[in-house]
Copies of this chain bind each other. A is one copy, B any other.
Amino acid sequence: MTKGEQTRHRVVAEAAKLFNQRGYEGSSMSDIMQVTGLEKGGIYRHFSSKEELAAAAFDFAWNEAVQLRSHDVAGIKNSVDKLRKLIANFVERRSPIPGGCPLLNTAVDTDDGNPVLRKHAAKALHAWQARLIGIIQEGIERGEVNPETEPEKLANVVISCLEGALMIARLERKSDALLNAQAHLDMYLEAVVRL
């Protein structure tokens, strides 16, 4: 990386922590200057607007989350076991970027405005849905998943349960709701989805 690229990367990584905890409106340019140690001009050399920086910060935070949630998944052969591992990772692994799930935060933050950032969140959601749908479809083709399973529906139920439970867990500051969601989804995957 050139020195400019290094600076850009560092600004994105620091801004990601700020935006993920305080939201778009709660993170001012002076907050961003403080956490990055750069003057306004130094930040605008790399990003044309706060919205562009926020979008890059979201992509960075989301990429970290996806990597965490993918931990040890690639080596798993069975599709249902893969889904269970993705769920377990969501429940057990906390991102180094504080503030909870970047997708949930950014979706709630931007659903009534901020179209650039909203587009990045929608793309992230779509990629997550597509990944789960792909695993379920493969499972049906391989005879591991009940062919009556509707991949889009199951993907949405998994994401809904996990994201809603994370909201409860963060508000209650205890992980009960996440463990309840995991137990429910695991039970469903074993009783109804696994062939």
Q: Which residues of A contact B (CB under 8 A)?
A: 21-26, 98-100, 104-105, 107-109, 111-113, 118, 121-122, 125, 152-153, 156-157, 159-165, 167-168, 170-172, 176-177, 180-181, 183-184, 188
- Chain A interface, DSSP helix/strand/loop, else mixed: helix
Residues of B within 8 A of A104 (CB): 108, 167
Across the interface, do A181 and B160 meet the contact criterion of CB distance under 8 Å? Answer: yes
Of A24, A125, A168, A177, chain B has the most CB atoms within 10 Å of the CB of A168
In the complex, which of the residues B122, B157, B164 contacts A163, with contact meaning CB atoms closer than 8 Å?
Answer: B164
Distance between Cα atoms of A22 and B23 in the complex (Å): 11
Across the interface, do A171 and B118 meet the contact criterion of CB distance under 8 Å? Answer: yes
Across the interface, do B122 and A153 meet the contact criterion of CB distance under 8 Å? Answer: no
A16 to chain B, nearest CB (A): 14
Contacts beyond the supplied A100-B112, A111-B170, A160-B168: 16 A-B pairs with Cβ under 8 Å? A21-B112, A21-B113, A22-B113, A23-B26, A24-B26, A98-B112, A100-B111, A104-B167, A122-B172, A156-B168, A156-B177, A160-B165, A160-B167, A163-B168, A164-B165, A188-B188
Across the interface, do B164 and A22 meet the contact criterion of CB distance under 8 Å? Answer: no
Distance between Cα atoms of A139 and B102 in the complex (Å): 38
Across the interface, do B153 and A160 meet the contact criterion of CB distance under 8 Å? Answer: no
Distance between Cα atoms of A165 and B23 in the complex (Å): 21
Across the interface, do A168 and B176 meet the contact criterion of CB distance under 8 Å? Answer: no
Across the interface, do A180 and B160 meet the contact criterion of CB distance under 8 Å? Answer: yes
Residues of B within 8 A of A183 (CB): 153
Residues of B within 8 A of A99 (CB): 111-112
Across the interface, do B112 and A171 meet the contact criterion of CB distance under 8 Å? Answer: no
Across the interface, do A163 and B167 meet the contact criterion of CB distance under 8 Å? Answer: yes
